[in-house]
């Protein structure tokens, strides 16, 4: 699976350690962004965008009788272009502070963790909520692509499930099946995947009063795009009122487990890729409590790669802090 459906960690392990990709940085990103355990990464067709062919419909087929022919048909496809966003940051630290430590590189990385975490969170927000109509510099995320439950307005509305919530505390839960044929993230053609670190060395820094001092500067760059090649493999459970979640899944306005089953059944073939659920910490905690209370046999917990992972019907449930309550109500 990793050979044809690589995660960011898979790609990094194949690259030579030439300074372009720091494996320590990848580990930090994976620690704070559970989505990276699932996302498929593919090299884009260009430097600033990815052009791909999307299936718009299936070709017609027919039963043939002897001595009778079959009318030719062709697959219905269309080309789409997805932009690649450029996420960057500069991290600086005092030279004297660095020189006090034996392992100077490790200390600088520890000081820069805040920048890596900030970029990680911004990547999550863009992947979920980015809209190039509002900010052309960003990527087109999932939410604007699945923004309605009205099938008369969008074909993919059939994959938007209404959890029935109203008010100001709404959030969504997502089921995404990642693969090169369904949905994946891209990196620019000819460049390495992932967040790149460039040590700019010693520079003169300025404090808030204009005073000068010597320090070190690092440049972080993450070029990323999102491609939805087959929308049928993405399901949004919208209008979840987090205040309606109860420890007993048979009460409250949101019967979340039923919606999760509906989401799984919406996928044409779950074996095509690497499926995963994404939710915020409130929903993640709610689902874990169902295990403790023995209320739902579909929800289990196991240890994967040395850390605990909650699963629903064998599909991992990932905590995504970017999915905070406060989403707009989705109309159906």
Eight-state DSSP code of residue 207: -
In the chain, the number of structural domains is 1
What is the pLDDT confidence band of residue 9, given thresholds at 50, 70 and 90? confident
User: What per-residue confidence (pLDDT) applies to 18?
Assistant: 46
Does the structure show a pLDDT above 50 at 121?
A: yes
Question: What's the pLDDT tens digit per position in 156-174?
Answer: 999 999 999 998 999 999 9
Please list, in sequence order, all residues whose beta carbon lies within 8 angstroms of the beta carbon of residue 308, skipping any fewer than 6 positions away: 301, 302
Question: Which single residue is written with the structure tokens 């909520």?
Answer: 129
User: What per-residue confidence (pLDDT) applies to 281?
Assistant: 93
Whether residue 169 is contained in a domain is answered as yes
What H or E segment, with its residue span, contains residue 281?
helix 281-293
Average pLDDT over residues 190-214: 89
For the chain, how many residues are written?
332
Token output for 12: 């990094």
The pTM assigned to this predicted structure is 0.84
Whether residue 327 is contained in a domain is answered as no
Does the structure show a pLDDT above 70 at 25?
A: no
Average pLDDT over residues 106-111: 85
What is the pLDDT confidence band of residue 185, given thresholds at 50, 70 and 90? very high
Question: Which single residue is written with the structure tokens 């979840």?
Answer: 240
Does the structure show a pLDDT above 80 at 81?
A: yes
What is the pLDDT confidence band of residue 288, given thresholds at 50, 70 and 90? confident
Does the structure show a pLDDT above 80 at 223?
A: yes
Whether residue 225 is contained in a domain is answered as yes
Does the structure show a pLDDT above 80 at 63?
A: no
Whether residue 1 is contained in a domain is answered as no
User: What per-residue confidence (pLDDT) applies to 71?
Assistant: 62
Whether residue 63 is contained in a domain is answered as no
Higher pLDDT, 327 or 248: 327
Whole-angstrom distance, CA of residue 317 vs CA of residue 299: 10
User: What per-residue confidence (pLDDT) applies to 119?
Assistant: 86
Does the structure show a pLDDT above 70 at 76?
A: no
User: What per-residue confidence (pLDDT) applies to 191?
Assistant: 84
Higher pLDDT, 203 or 105: 203
* Mean pLDDT comparison of 30-34, 71-75, 103-107, 220-224, highest-scoring range: 220-224
User: What per-residue confidence (pLDDT) applies to 307?
Assistant: 74
What is the pLDDT confidence band of residue 80, given thresholds at 50, 70 and 90? confident
Does residue 228 sit in helix, strand or coil? strand
Whether residue 81 is contained in a domain is answered as yes
Cβ atoms of 129 and 280 within 8 Å: the answer is no
Whether residue 124 is contained in a domain is answered as yes
Question: What's the pLDDT tens digit per position in 260-287?
Answer: 999 999 999 999 999 999 999 999 998 8
Share of the chain above pLDDT 70, in %: 81
Does the structure show a pLDDT above 50 at 17?
A: no
User: What per-residue confidence (pLDDT) applies to 275?
Assistant: 97
Does the structure show a pLDDT above 80 at 77?
A: no
Whole-angstrom distance, CA of residue 226 vs CA of residue 83: 8
Q: Which domain holds residue 204?
A: 8-55+77-319
Whether residue 141 is contained in a domain is answered as yes
User: What per-residue confidence (pLDDT) applies to 19?
Assistant: 41
Q: What is the mean pLDDT of the chain?
A: 85
Lowest mean pLDDT among 36-45, 49-58, 93-102, 306-315: 49-58
- Three state DSSP letters for 146-174: CCCCCCCCCHHHHHEEECCCCCCCEEEEE
User: What per-residue confidence (pLDDT) applies to 202?
Assistant: 94
């Amino acid at each position: 699976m990793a050979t044809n459906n690589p995660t960011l960690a898979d790609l990094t392990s194949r690259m030579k350690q030439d300074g372009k990709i720091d494996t320590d940085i990848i580990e930090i990103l994976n620690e704070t962004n559970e989505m990276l355990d699932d996302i498929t990464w593919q090299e884009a067709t260009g430097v600033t965008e990815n052009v791909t062919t999307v299936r718009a419909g299936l070709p017609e087929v027919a039963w043939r009788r002897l001595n009778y022919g079959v009318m030719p048909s062709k697959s219905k496809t269309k080309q789409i272009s997805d932009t690649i966003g450029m996420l960057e940051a500069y991290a600086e630290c005092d030279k004297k502070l660095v020189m006090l430590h034996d392992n100077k590189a490790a200390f600088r990385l520890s000081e820069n963790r805040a920048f890596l975490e900030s970029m990680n969170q911004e990547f999550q927000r863009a992947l979920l909520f980015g809209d190039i109509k509002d900010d052309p510099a960003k990527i087109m995320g999932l939410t604007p692509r699945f923004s309605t439950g009205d099938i008369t307005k969008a074909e993919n509305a059939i994959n938007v499930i209404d959890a029935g919530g109203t008010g100001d505390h709404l959030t969504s839960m997502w089921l995404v099946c990642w693969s090169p044929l369904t949905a994946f993230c891209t990196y620019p053609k000819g460049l390495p995947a992932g967040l790149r670190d460039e040590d700019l060395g010693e520079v003169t820094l300025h404090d808030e009063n204009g005073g000068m001092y010597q320090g070190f500067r690092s440049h972080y760059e993450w070029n990323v795009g999102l491609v939805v090649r087959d929308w049928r493999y993405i399901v949004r459970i919208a209008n979840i009122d987090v205040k309606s979640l109860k420890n007993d899944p048979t009460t409250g306005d949101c019967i979340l487990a039923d919606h999760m089953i509906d989401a799984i059944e919406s996928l044409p073939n779950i074996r095509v890729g690497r499926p995963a659920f994404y939710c915020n910490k409130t929903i993640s905690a709610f689902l874990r409590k169902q295990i403790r209370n023995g209320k739902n046999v579909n929800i289990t917990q196991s240890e994967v790669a040395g850390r605990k992972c909650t699963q629903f019907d064998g599909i991992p449930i990932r905590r995504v802090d970017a999915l905070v309550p406060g989403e707009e109500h989705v109309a159906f």
